[in-house]
C-alpha cells in the first residue's frame, strides 16, 4: 500500500459518519484494507462491486462526462439508501468503498477530487498540508475534514480553526488569521478608564478607598479578559 493510500485510509478512519470502508487494488483484485466489521465472507462480493464500479464509471464517462481532451471525469458514485449510502471513489488503480452518512458525501467526494488533481491546501505559516487533516466540531463533537467551513452535521460555522502544525489560527485555505487588536485595545482602554474613575472616587471619599480600588482593579481585569476572548479569531 502506497504512502498516499495509507494517508487516505488514516483520514477516513478518523471521520464521523463513515460506518465502514474497504480499499481494493483493481489490478491485483485484492483488498488492501478494510474496517474490522467487514467479514471475510463479504470480501468476494465487495471485490466484484469494486470491479463493476470501475467499469461503470468508465462507461458513463465515455458518453457524458469527459473533458475536451478525453480525460475521464466520473470518479465518484453514490448509491443512496435512507440516510446512508455506498460511496465509491476511484483513484488510479484503487477503489474505495465507503458506507457514509449522506450529509458528508459531497465533502468526502470533494477531498478525493482534490487528491486526484494533486491539489494541496498548505498552511501559509508552517507549510503543513491540511487536505487530509481532521477537526473536531466544538458544537457537536463530530470529526470532520479540516478544510470545511461548516460542520455538515450541525451547520456550525468553522471558517477559522487552529492549524495542527503550528497551533495558530488559519482559515480553510490555510491563510493566517490575526487577532482583532482593535477590540482588544478598546477593552483594555475601557478597563483603564473604569479603574481611573473608581480610584478618583476612592480619593474623594476616603471611607470607600479600599473598596473603590478593589472594584477598579476587578473591572480592569474583567475587561482585559473580555478583550482577549472576543478578539480571538472565530
Q: Domain check: are 195 and 142 in the same one?
A: no
pTM higher than 0.85 for the full model? no
Q: Domain check: are 158 and 227 in the same one?
A: no
Q: Domain check: are 196 and 90 in the same one?
A: no
pLDDT tens profile 67-86: 555 555 557 777 776 666 77
Instruction: Return the C-alpha cell found at 171.
Output: 482559515
Provide the pLDDT for residue 26. 82
Last residue of a domain, one of 171, 197, 221: 171
Q: Do the domain assignments include residue 35?
A: yes
Q: Do the domain assignments include residue 176?
A: no
Q: Domain check: are 161 and 210 in the same one?
A: no
Provide the pLDDT for residue 60. 63
Helix residue ranges per DSSP H, the chain: 3-14, 43-63, 105-116, 181-204, 209-230
Q: Domain check: are 139 and 204 in the same one?
A: no
pLDDT tens profile 145-194: 999 999 999 999 998 899 999 998 899 899 998 754 444 455 566 666 66
Last residue of a domain, one of 130, 148, 171: 171
How many domains does the chain divide into?
2
Provide the pLDDT for residue 184. 46
What percentage of residues in the chain have a pLDDT greater than 70? 68
**Which CATH number do you get for residue 18?**
3.30.450.30
N-terminal to C-terminal alpha carbon distance within the chain:
39
- Other Cβ atoms less than 10 A from the Cβ of 223: the count is 20
Is 80 exceeded by the pLDDT of residue 55? no
Phi-psi region of 155 (alpha: psi -120 to 50; beta: other; left: phi over 0): left
Provide the pLDDT for residue 27. 85
pLDDT tens profile 22-51: 998 888 888 888 998 888 888 888 778 777
User: Would you call 180 exposed, middle or buried from its count of C-beta atoms within 10 A (0-12, 13-18, 19+)?
Assistant: middle
Q: Domain check: are 208 and 105 in the same one?
A: no
Q: Domain check: are 207 and 154 in the same one?
A: no
Instruction: Return the C-alpha cell found at 179.
Output: 487577532
* DSSP assignment string, 150-210: B-TTT--B-SEEE-TTT--EEETTS-B----HHHHHHHHHHHHHHHHHHHHHHHHSGGGHH
Q: Do the domain assignments include residue 8?
A: yes
Across 3-7, 24-28, 195-199, 227-231, the highest mean pLDDT is recorded for: 3-7
Q: Domain check: are 110 and 223 in the same one?
A: no
Provide the pLDDT for residue 52. 75
Q: Are 90 and 57 in contact (CB under 8 A)?
A: yes
Measured CA to CA, the distance from residue 18 to residue 102 in angstroms comes to: 10
Q: Domain check: are 93 and 187 in the same one?
A: no
For residue 188, the enclosing domain spans: 181-231
Q: Domain check: are 117 and 154 in the same one?
A: yes
Q: Domain check: are 161 and 48 in the same one?
A: yes
Q: What is the mean pLDDT of the chain?
A: 80
Q: Do the domain assignments include residue 102?
A: yes
Q: Domain check: are 81 and 196 in the same one?
A: no
Q: Do the domain assignments include residue 105?
A: yes
Q: Do the domain assignments include residue 9?
A: yes
Segment 190-209 mean pLDDT:
68
Last residue of a domain, one of 122, 144, 171: 171
Q: Do the domain assignments include residue 195?
A: yes
Amino acid at each position: 500500500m502506497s504512502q498516499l493510500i495509507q494517508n487516505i485510509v488514516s483520514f477516513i478512519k478518523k471521520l464521523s459518519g463513515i460506518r465502514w470502508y474497504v480499499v481494493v487494488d483493481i489490478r491485483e483484485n485484492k483488498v488492501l484494507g478494510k474496517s474490522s466489521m467487514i467479514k471475510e465472507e463479504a470480501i468476494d462480493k465487495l471485490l466484484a462491486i469494486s470491479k463493476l464500479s470501475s467499469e461503470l464509471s468508465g462507461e458513463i464517462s465515455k458518453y457524458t462526462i469527459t473533458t475536451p481532451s478525453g480525460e475521464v471525469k466520473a470518479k465518484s458514485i453514490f448509491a443512496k439508501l435512507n440516510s446512508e449510502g455506498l460511496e465509491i471513489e476511484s483513484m488510479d488503480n484503487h477503489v474505495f468503498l465507503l458506507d457514509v452518512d449522506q450529509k458528508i458525501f459531497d465533502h468526502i467526494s470533494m477531498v478525493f477530487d482534490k487528491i486526484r488533481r494533486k491539489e494541496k491546501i498548505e498552511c501559509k505559516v508552517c507549510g503543513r498540508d491540511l487536505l487530509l487533516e481532521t477537526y473536531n466540531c466544538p458544537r457537536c463533537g463530530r470529526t470532520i475534514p479540516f478544510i470545511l467551513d461548516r460542520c455538515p452535521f450541525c451547520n456550525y460555522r468553522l471558517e477559522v480553526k487552529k492549524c495542527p502544525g503550528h497551533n495558530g489560527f488559519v482559515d480553510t485555505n490555510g491563510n493566517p488569521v490575526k487577532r482583532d487588536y482593535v477590540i482588544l485595545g478598546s477593552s483594555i482602554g475601557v478597563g483603564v478608564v473604569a479603574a481611573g474613575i473608581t480610584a478618583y472616587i476612592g480619593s474623594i471619599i476616603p471611607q470607600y478607598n479600599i473598596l473603590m480600588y478593589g472594584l477598579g482593579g476587578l473591572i480592569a481585569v474583567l475587561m482585559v479578559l473580555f478583550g482577549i476572548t472576543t478578539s480571538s479569531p472565530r
